[in-house]
Amino acid sequence: MIKLSRLDGVQYYINPHQIECIEVRPDTTLVMLSGKHHIVREEVDDVLSRIEEYRRRLSPPVAQE
């Protein structure tokens, strides 16, 4: 789960595996697989960074030879 903020500042967590796409309208809007829309304070690049970090945490470390 990644932590995001609503426009009113309330923080909540979203499952990034359920995000279908991210739109800028001008606010960052997450469109979920269910069709629900979440408008968040974070910029698109910040949301993408959080998703990348979340996925890194889920991946096993790569063994270095």
Helices (H), 1-65: 44-58
Ordered by start, the domain boundaries in the chain are 2-10+19-58
- pLDDT (tens digit, 9 = 90+) per residue, 24-60? 999 999 999 999 999 999 999 999 999 999 999 998 7
Q: What count of residues does the chain have?
A: 65
Indicate if the pLDDT at residue 65 is higher than 90: no
Under the banding of pLDDT at 50, 70 and 90, the label for residue 18 is very high
CA separation for the pair 51, 16 (Å, rounded): 6
Under the banding of pLDDT at 50, 70 and 90, the label for residue 2 is very high
pLDDT at 25: 93
Residues in CB range of 34: below 8 A, 6 or more apart: 18
pLDDT at 63: 75
Q: What are phi and psi of 57, to 5 degrees?
A: -65, -30
